[in-house]
Structure 1
């Protein structure tokens, strides 16, 4: 009986140590939870990885408008669309977040909600319309912007973004846009993932969510909401 009591005390001690380690790793979270039904909630968008001249063939557009049928058309979303003639079109939205701790390291848990009409398990030019369009999320202390690369006169990002299925220093791949059906109808889907980084000296970061495409045709998505939970890391 004495040995059993000692064993149970040992297990209790391990549990307490484990809880203390968990509590010391993360403090109270800061949450961004934006629904785009009524507005873009200070998010804005742009494109990269396409030529700086003659970009009209890419049919690039960003707007805030009603969701398409068969979805509830009384609700709105951020519509982003482009024709991937470069075989590498990057389409993204971004938002600045203030009020974090200066130079603090955070783990962010993303939930990205959007509507996609890219059926699963399809064949397309250059790649599948669903599985070859990768979704990524992350953040940066500098504002994500496109700049002209003088070596090829293409618009490139000023951050180390994702590169199709490959993670970058400022973004992680969290899935693709395949809608889980055999139909090219818009379906509401969700992708989740985590990213770890550090806030700047003012306690600010720029959130970025986007897609990098290997499908050489038109992709049109409607973002309906984005949630980002910042957890302060102490280890």
Structure 2
């Protein structure tokens, strides 16, 4: 089902498989200084940061990157890819939270990958420093610990119909009703409801101004959603769990039609945005009953990289982006976020690269 939000997004963003990037990421200058034709094709899959890095580089200059796929590649697939773009090395291969690899590629290879159908994202790889980790952990035993709830992708005039709820509430008895969690509930009448929690961090949390951090989330959601037929989609598999971090406060903003939309790029339902990753859905691991169970989530294999603003501030957020046209009610009993300072890896000159079997 097509969301009411799509016309607005089409006017402002380029949507591609697995990510959404702003129009300013398509750089005609790349075509002028390379031998690769039609590099500014749609969709454009190279991150904004990597685009800036390669813009003035020669075709043979090498960059450390992370490449994401929409499928898992085997030994034969990588060999075929090498024939298409040239020899390269893989330092790490990812096949759980995401599909893809980390390795060193030339500018020309990066531009060729941008035209490869199963590639969804090409990002700059970065080095995590050995500085002390910054850990933010909330168990909600007494209060909300600075976490704020919010909702978007719904019409203001029908707000009452959506039954939007956010509170600190005792967990369901089948989990432990002596414990509490952040409770979010809403009726998805727009086929597009986004329910989220957010928290601000700053220098009081030891963050530095204008500094990049690798952000790793580790949290649980109490869910009773099963993989079953529902209006618009499954109450489990069609409600996508997203995480993100940005130096702009994630806020619902009303458009000219009276529809609340997020002021950041979270993507839409099963599509990621530049400010949000998908790390799962709300489907329970056991489906025999309608009781709640705890489902763990983390992005340890795919950290989110964000830069603080001039005041050393940034916002964390976790949300459920729904295509299920019904009521979704969930609890967050525990949220842990780890931040590590990062620096860019140095650029390299092209050498002879060969695929390494991992």
* TM-score of the pair, normalised by structure 1: 0.86
Q: Once the two structures are superposed, what CA deviation does each residue of 1:24-72 show, in whole Å capped at 9, x if it has no partner? A: 6323221111112322101011100000112111010101111112111
Deviation, 1:170, is 1.3
Give the match for residue 218 of structure 2: 111
Note if 1:221 corresponds to 2:341: no
Given candidates 202, 206, 213, the residue that maps to 2:315 is 206
Structure 1 consecutive aligned stretches of length 4 or more whose deviation exceeds 6 Å: none
Given candidates 66, 85, 102, the residue that maps to 2:189 is 85
Note if 1:149 corresponds to 2:258: no
Given candidates 277, 292, 295, the residue that maps to 1:186 is 292
- How many residue pairs match? The answer is 212
Distance 1:199 1:166 in 2: 25
Task: Provide structure 1 residue ranges, at least 5 long, that are not aligned to the other structure.
Answer: 1-22
Secondary structure at the counterpart of residue 54 of structure 1: helix
Summarize the alignment of residues 153-172 of structure 1 with structure 2, pairs less than 5 Å apart. 153-172=258-277
Summarize the alignment of residues 64-79 of structure 1 with structure 2, pairs less than 5 Å apart. 64-79=168-183
* TM-score of the pair, normalised by structure 2: 0.57
Give the match for residue 9 of structure 1: none
Give the match for residue 197 of structure 1: 306
Deviation, 1:213, is 0.0
Contact 2:128–2:214 under 8 Å retained in 1: no
Distance 2:127 2:217 in 1: 22
Secondary structure at the counterpart of residue 232 of structure 1: strand
CA RMSD of aligned residues (A): 1.6
Contact 1:93–1:210 under 8 Å retained in 2: yes
Bigger RCO (CA 8 Å, 6+ sep): 1
Distance 1:231 1:25 in 2: 6
Task: Provide structure 2 residue ranges, at least 5 long, that are not aligned to the other structure.
Answer: 1-125, 345-358
